[in-house]
Amino acid sequence: MKLKFKSLQSIGAERESVIQKQIQKIRKEISLWDFSSKNKEAREILLRTNVSSFSFCRVRVEKDSVVAIDSRLKFVSLTVNNLEKLYHSQPAKTTFQKQTFLIKKAIVYLDTLLAISKRIFEISELEIRKKTKGKDLQWELDLLIDEVDRIASLAEFRYLHLFGGDYAKSSRTASMWFINEKNGSLFRVYIATMTSKALGLRSLDGNYLTLSNSTLLQKKIEETILKIKEERKQLQSVLD
């Protein structure tokens, strides 16, 4: 029997659709878990986010962390949903189409990073107003910072890791050359490092930002948001 040919774009869209269904199932399961006084044991969830055998997102779920974990899953879902739309709408057969797809894919991830950063800013405001338990907010903050690093490690296009620093201006090996579709000239595209450390969400020794000084946290997050917006604007200019 002759198998129906499927393009990489079609396979990509199907993969994101499967991940989305997986996320929905996990969120529903977590909401139904019994964390009564008689059943306080923590549980683990495994979310496979790529075809790689090492691409599992492992999260330990405890009674007090359910809301924080659901918050992270919302952002995973946001990325997956927008990637699925991109795979359906943007072909990637010709050189110029591949260039466009790469930039649009990077923008999808940047949009999620921006949404995460805005949520972290909201968390800092909640801490200032003492609207939610500090422990719960710190738990969510930690998980969202982990999600930033997950995105930075998995954001790629045909084995080109986009946010790890390989194509940042500071990199000595940066060599992402694009072809101008109008005149055929070459031009270089840079993509800034988008790890939690690079964005100021972790200290240089790897520690998470904390809510102990919410005012300082807000200042750092404002800088993070500005950096992501500037990078998004820079990449959008390549398309324009």
What gap in Å lies between CA 139 and CA 149, rounded to an integer?
A: 16
The sign of the torsion formed by the CA atoms of 2, 8, 9, 15 equals positive
CB 188 within 8 A of CB 176: yes
CB 163 within 8 A of CB 155: yes
| Per-residue pLDDT, 106 | 97
Express as a percent the part of the chain with pLDDT over 70: 83
Residue type, 42: A
Mean pLDDT of the chain, nearest integer: 87
Domain extent listing, the chain: 8-239
What gap in Å lies between CA 167 and CA 163, rounded to an integer?
A: 8
In the numeric block, which tokens belong to residue 133?
Answer: 């338990």
Q: CB burial class (10 A; 0-12, 13-18, 19+) of residue 169?
A: exposed
Q: How confident is the model at residue 40 (pLDDT cuts 50, 70, 90)?
A: low
Share of the chain residues as helix, strand and coil, in percent rounded to the nearest 5: 55, 10, 35
Look up the CATH number of domain 8-239: 1.20.1330.10
| Per-residue pLDDT, 34 | 66
What gap in Å lies between CA 88 and CA 73, rounded to an integer?
A: 23
CB 20 within 8 A of CB 84: yes
Across residues 203-220, what is the average pLDDT? 90
Q: Which of 48-57, 157-166, 169-178 has the lowest mean pLDDT?
A: 48-57
| Per-residue pLDDT, 4 | 45
The DSSP element (H or E) to which 59 belongs, if any, is: strand 56-61
| Per-residue pLDDT, 121 | 96
Higher pLDDT, 126 or 47: 126
CB 43 within 8 A of CB 61: yes
| Per-residue pLDDT, 50 | 63
Residue type, 57: C
Q: Which of 46-55, 81-90, 173-182 has the lowest mean pLDDT?
A: 46-55
Across residues 167-176, what is the average pLDDT? 80
| Per-residue pLDDT, 88 | 94
What gap in Å lies between CA 15 and CA 191, rounded to an integer?
A: 25
CB 173 within 8 A of CB 101: no
Region of 61 please: left (phi>0), alpha (psi -120 to 50) or beta: beta
Across residues 1-27, what is the average pLDDT? 75
